A and B are shown apart, each in its own frame.
Chain A
Amino acid sequence: MLARVADNLYWMGRYLERSEHLARFVKIQYFSALDAPYSHKEEMVLRSLLAMSAIEAPEQAPEEEVLYRICLEKENALSLCSSVSFARTNARGARDMISAELWENINKFYHYVTSFPAEGLKSRGMYEFLQQVIMQTSIIKGSIENTLLHDEVWAFIKFGVSLERAFQVIRITQTKLEDVARIEHSAPNSEPVENYQISTLLAATEGFDMSRRYYKAPPSRRNALEFLSFNTEFPRSITNCVLHMQEHIQRINPGKQTGKGSVEFMIGKLLSHLQYLTIEEIEADPSAFLDETQETLYRIGEQMNANYLKY
């Protein structure tokens, strides 16, 4: 396979995953805040959305503008709309490798997002929009699973999906931990608020129901952190993502030239680290753990580029 095409497939996976997480985070944050148990909700939610998406907006920018920037602004490379657009551009560069079904679904998705009217974003329209984005990414992932050969084409897409998912889970967790810290700062010892934010964190990573089932207890900060970091069976935990990265890279490189410094080596090392780490070790300063893991993932991304994708 051409290195450039592999690059296209990998980035297609990454942008699709990014779109999905951004859409879900905005949806959960925005709509669950409507009945949240604390004051200055609107300001708080907007700040949190901007932090997670890394999009900038002027201080005091009205809600509508912030939402427009995050969801629809074509000129901003970090917006949801751009993310979908990049996913499609990359799919197009690998058009002859993927199935007609997958391509058509991505193409439809692109046309839906890019032609969505800015006025339509207010109130009901926004819910519809985000719900559609989440649904369509899910359909697209279905086509990835069900219409492609599970060969290296598929593995490059899936590798991109897994790596991006790990990044997004880290990012969402960091953002929510900051929200909690901010609330505690303004209103100390407000347990219901903390519980509320932790629930939002789990919902934004689609882990609410499964963590309840797993722990058989209402969500707590500790359980949520452990669940999202180390649970090997939950598909949105960091450790599970890295497990999948390892699986996919092995499919790409069955020859296993996995010397020191190779991407295979780096993934193996990170995975062992995660598998023997416990919640007790990170609980006191989860942010340091998240930063460090994020940094390692960046380096894995760079090495992936150097080993397979550079052209």
Chain B
Amino acid sequence: MERAPLKNIFASYQAYDACFDEVFAEDGTVRPHYHKLYELFSGYTLRDFQELNERTKLAFFNQGITFAVYSDEAGGSERIFPFDLFPRIIPASEWSMIEKGIIQRNYALNLFLHDLYHDKKILKDKVVPADLVFSSGNYNKYMIGHNPVGGIYNHISGTDLIRHRDGKYYILEDNIRCPSGVSYILANREAMKSGLSDLFQESQVALVKPYPVELLATIQSVAPENVDQPTAVVLTPGIFNSAYYEHSFLAQRMGIELVEGRDLLVDNDFVYMKTIYGRQKVDIIYRRVDDEFLDPMVYRPDSMLGVPGLMTAYRAGNVTLVNAPGTGVADDKAVYTYVPQIIRYYLGEEAILHNVPTWHCEKPDDLKYVLGNMAELVLKPVDESGGYGIVIGPQATRAQLDEYRTRILANPRKYIAQPVMSLSTHATYIEDEVMFEPRHIDLRIFSLLGKDRHYVLKGGLSRVALRRGSLIVNSSQGGGSKDTWVLEK
């Protein structure tokens, strides 16, 4: 295998230690699935890239593919979500495993949700601790006993994965409330096609374009019964929401109305939208408004984003909400650690995609391991969210670890431990440095679950932590994104 030539644009590329680099193997050679791309890129100069980069940025800005930054005054300033021109490539063999794993996970989590809102068998069988579920604050009593159409709760999932230094993919988080970011996948692909059209001629990259069509078919598959030609809408919090671009984009691509809460009303348990010619019945709502803002009659009474009476219309079966309310109970950080057990319980299968390994201190063997390896582990309380009470072993002092040991011993049930995971890196064009450097990336995959159908978008949002060494890929904190190519073979 050829050595990376020193005189091209990757000349000074220096991979991070102890991380998996997606493009370059440890010996500095280029991984096989990047060969074609690498050859093409080697023909470019940095100057070419700089120009392309500027052009792409301007295109995004003019198209309004931006997100609002809340810290600024109302209405806020708008920023583009930085986009990197070097695509991330996933070979067909790796992808087929990811796809199977995602589908398996979606089905299992859906059965889990149904069980939690009906018989609660998994809790009674003590596979998942009941306290863990009920203390999360995400268990939604308005969903108890309700049967969503087709039995589907998590119609749309945005699953976050990372690749660890062992080269394996790990699930980091299941987002099954209102996951966002899919519009960037489509916009990134458009930008890539216009910016680097010659690349596509050479590679067999799976299309991302079918997503809106699949999404519409999915939500239509769960229309209320006895509705012939269901009317579906996208419900947005409004133009000041940071993801408004995505809401309008999806509505437009699906050819359905984009509505705000004030455009809807509920009468006699049916939902209507207010049109220029009067009321029109709405059957399916793809809502991008969080649970607690959906209906001021039952959730937050101060919500101006919701529709009074929506939940009773929903419970009466006259309208479908996508995703169902109350899904947050299953993508909770504490519940996450039990997903392998959840898959085994409902499907009788082993999880195809790895969870980050978790030791539950309530189990004696796990406890022993944790106490013996505290300095290498991340230690967390199970029921706290938002990063409270987390200790990162390698960064903690002796005294902190000793204090934590006391806490764990006092109440082992309350604690779990995980290894320190490392995100893989990918060559990324860094504007300020005018060169390619490694940056940490993760991968968000979008998948759909409908009545008798499922779909995984062949592609994904590879989010990049643009600050050197940083692990934070969030757009609000200096994250960017890459087009993600899934190879067809």
Contacts and interface: CB of A to CB of B under 8 A. Distances in A.
Tell me, yes or no, whether A and B come into direct contact in the complex with CB atoms closer than 8 A: yes
A76 interface: no
B276 A3 contact: yes
A308 B276 contact: yes
Contact of B62 (A104, A308, A311): A104
Interface in A293-311: 308-309, 311
Contacts of B274: 2-4, 311
Interface in B259-302: 259-260, 262-263, 273-276
Contacts of A4: 259-260, 262-263, 274
Interface string B87-126: 0000000000000000000000000000000000000000
Nearest to B251: A96
B252 interface: yes
Contact of A92 (B244, B252, B276): B244
Interface in A243-287: 252
B278 to A, nearest CB: 9
Interface residues of A, number: 22
A182 B62 CA distance: 46
B200 interface: no
A111 interface: yes
Contact of A96 (B64, B238, B248, B276): B248
Interface string A84-121: 00000100110110001001100110010000000000
B258 A95 contact: yes
B257 A2 contact: yes
Contacts of A252: 276
Interface string A1-37: 1111110000000000000000000000000000000
A107 B239 contact: no
B248 to A, nearest CB: 4
B275 to A, nearest CB: 6
Contacts of A96: 248-249, 251-252, 257-258
A152 B63 CA distance: 24
Given A3-B275, A103-B64, A95 B252 contact: yes
Contacts of B44: none
Question: Contact residue range for chain B?
Answer: 20 to 34
Q: Which of A3, A100, A103 has the most CB of B within 10 A?
A: A3
A35 to B, nearest CB: 39
Nearest to B252: A96
A106 B244 CA distance: 17
A110 to B, nearest CB: 9
Given A95-B252, A96-B252, A311-B263, A2 B273 contact: yes
B61 interface: yes
A140 B61 CA distance: 17
Contacts of B61: 111
Contacts of B239: 89, 92-93
Given A96-B248, A96-B252, A308-B276, A2 B62 contact: no
A89 B64 CA distance: 12
B287 to A, nearest CB: 16
Contacts of B244: 92, 95
B172 to A, nearest CB: 32
A17 to B, nearest CB: 21
B248 A107 contact: no
Given A100-B63, A111-B61, A311 B258 contact: no
A311 B252 contact: no
A309 B274 CA distance: 10
B263 A3 contact: yes
Contacts of A111: 61-62
A274 to B, nearest CB: 27
Contacts of B263: 2-5, 311
Interface of B: 61-64, 238-239, 244, 248-249, 251-252, 257-260, 262-263, 273-276
Interface of A: 1-6, 89, 92-93, 95-96, 100, 103-104, 107-108, 111, 152, 252, 308-309, 311
Given A2-B276, A308-B276, 5 more contacts: A2-B259, A93-B238, A95-B258, A104-B62, A104-B63
